Amino acid sequence: MKLPTVVFQITAIGKNPRALEASARSVGYWLPRTPRLGYRAEVWAVVEPDGYASDPLRYDRLAADGVRIVVVPRSYSTPLGTSGKARALEYAVERRRALGLADASTWIYHQDEETVVGQDTLLGIADFVRAGAHRVGVGIILYPIDWNGSPSHVQELTRTYDDLRVLDSMTLPGNPTAGFHGSHILVRSDVEDAVGWDTVGYSPAEDLTFEIRVRARFGSVFGVLTGFAYEKGAFSLGDQLRQRRRWMHGVLFALRHAPELGPRRRLTLLYSALTWYSAFPSVVVLAASVLLHYGPILVGTSVFTGFIWVTMATGYLEGYRLHAEYVRRPASWLRFAAAALLGAVVDVLAPWYALATRPSRRDFIPKDRPHEAPLVPPVGSRAE
Amino acid sequence: MFLAELDRLTVELGANPVPGDIRPRVAPPGPLPDEAPPDAMPLSPYLEERLRLAHRAMATLGRELSTLERRWGVVRAAAEHLDRELERAEDEAGFLGRLAAVPLAAEPLAEGPVRAGGEEEAPEARAAVEGDRVVPDDGSLPYLRFSADRYNRTIGALKSRRRRLVGWTVGLAVAISGALGTAAFLAHEPPPDPWLAILPLVWLVPVPFFVVSFLATHRVLRRNHLDVPAVA
């Protein structure tokens, strides 16, 4: 019987080389220390030429240590002419096909440049592959890497708790609340090969498009991937704001330009966007209610207010509890609450910021710790 | 060069002779002007040139010192870098030593990665670690057990408090909503204008999403085991 292969594929621009190296090395570190996994493993880093050029020594060192560094050629174009991350993902699909890795015994574990794996991740993947009950798996992501309890980090706790909703939604027919990830997902290679990532033009929500296509072609083949993945939050509120702007642009783009989106999914997506957009007016209305005397109306609306507030607070608390064994405790609960409020304000403003401004296609969120010096390339290296 | 110029200047000026200096004072070429005051320093046609040379030598020396300082900084940074890399190499060597039986970097690929710039390709190694064949002998199995237990404990704790979470959520929601409603009711404010009355409805937009999320979260916790396999 052929032993399954899992390709740990990190797809990124590559301009956060230290974060990417940590992700790749986490796989290389834990694989040999985790016996009886039952699969072969390869590590791929799929990066853009600019990313490679930002720290060639580091990439070369990774290559020497067994990581396949795939630099997407500038001249490469897909049949439909997609760009951004989808283009790199499609290139990787073609490379795998050329190498005979587009079969049912190969699985692709998708990582962002900061997605670090642990032994539990590897065990979860092994369990999923061994069971073979589903063709795509999605799991829960923690954000303990470089954790410092800042507002942008505290805000990520809610994403972890929200992953439970994502898992449920994704495993239900039709994905009723439009949940999906771009990282910490495991896809059987033949499924990814059949569906691909190619779309017409720019596709900022490539993960959403991919999920829709898989569902359309293979039905409800999604399962829960056990084990956490370990990522890091944005380093600053500004980065958090830009990250959320990118997400919202992805959603808006999908709403307008994704032909794969059926009317029902479009409506779901529209509603989830509307929910996010309603946060800021809600805060404004709450503040204005003191001046404009909404009293009698609030008697009716307050029935749901308590539930929403408690649910939001639960997101922070349970998100933190999920992280408790993986991060240092913040200085105090007061500081934690203040950080949560500040992080929430940024999330409240983010969709409106996305309406007012546009990210560039080469926009990326810094994930390398700013205080660590880059490797100095030797005199005469290619990067100079 | 600089010291030679200083010597020449000293001789030229005849000032501050070094103790023990027995060289005779060199007479300036040409006669001294008669009107020169008796205490005035004798002028020399070479003085200006000597000073210019001295300035130039000083400037050269300054530049060389700056260059030296910069280069020293680079050397020191490189030495620190070397130190760090040696430490890492030592770790790596220890790691590889422990995993001598692991088939790392098995076979070279037929085709390598495309490098920056697009078209050029370079050779590379390929990692192929077969989990089945790796049996660490460095005591990492207890850590594997710890990793799996920690994950299962975290997820298990969340699952175990699911019912309590439902109770607290509903109870607190009712309490907060009740308090807000009571406060609004007791304020006895007059009904607002109709156009203002619709504004608070914006609060209701996310309600279905929150309700569905709440149900989904508890359903996934109830239905799925979510544990990673226990390590023997």
- For residue B216, the chain A residue with the least C-alpha distance is A165
A363 close to A16: Cβ distance less than 8 angstroms? no
B125 touches A: beta carbon within 8 Å: yes
Element holding B81 (H helix, E strand): helix B47-98
How far apart CA B141 and CA B144 sit, in angstroms, is 5
Residue A329 has what pLDDT?
67
Compute and round to an integer the Cα radius of gyration of chain A.
Answer: 21
Distance from CA of B231 to the nearest CA of A (A): 9
B89 touches A: beta carbon within 8 Å: no
Cβ–Cβ below 8 Å for A278 and B205: yes
To the question of pTM greater than 0.80 for the whole model, the response is no
Cβ–Cβ below 8 Å for B229 and A127: yes
Looking at per-residue pLDDT, the higher value among B43 and A167 belongs to A167
Per-residue pLDDT of chain A (384 residues; tens, 9 = 90+): 678 999 999 999 999 999 999 999 999 999 988 988 999 999 999 999 999 999 999 999 999 999 999 999 999 999 999 988 999 999 999 999 999 999 999 999 999 999 999 999 999 999 999 999 999 999 999 999 988 889 999 999 999 999 999 999 999 988 888 888 889 999 999 999 999 999 887 777 788 889 989 998 999 999 999 999 999 999 899 999 998 998 898 888 888 877 778 888 889 889 999 999 999 998 888 787 777 777 777 777 777 889 999 999 999 999 999 999 998 766 688 999 999 999 999 999 999 999 998 876 656 677 777 655 444 333 333 322
Cβ–Cβ below 8 Å for B114 and A318: no
Residue A35 has what pLDDT?
85
A166 close to A346: Cβ distance less than 8 angstroms? no
Residue A13 has what pLDDT?
92
A120 touches B: beta carbon within 8 Å: yes
Q: What would the two tokens of residue B187 be?
A: 């304020």
Cβ–Cβ below 8 Å for A165 and B228: no
How far apart CA B156 and CA B230 sit, in angstroms, is 13
C-beta pairs of A145-148 under 8 Å, 24+ apart in sequence: A145/A22, A145/A114, A145/A116, A145/A230, A145/A231, A145/A232, A146/A232, A146/A235, A146/A369, A147/A232, A147/A233, A147/A323, A147/A326, A147/A327, A147/A328
A77 touches B: beta carbon within 8 Å: no
CB pairs under 8 A between A and B: 280
Element holding B172 (H helix, E strand): helix B162-186
The bridge status of strand A185-188 relative to strand A106-111 is: antiparallel
How far apart CA A134 and CA A136 sit, in angstroms, is 6
ipTM: 0.89
Closest CB to A281: pick one of B81, B180, B202.
Answer: B202
Say whether pLDDT at B130 is over 60: no
Contacts of B230 in chain A (CB under 8 A): none
B209 touches A: beta carbon within 8 Å: yes
Please state, rounded to an integer, the average pLDDT across all residues of chain B: 70
Say whether pLDDT at B120 is over 60: no
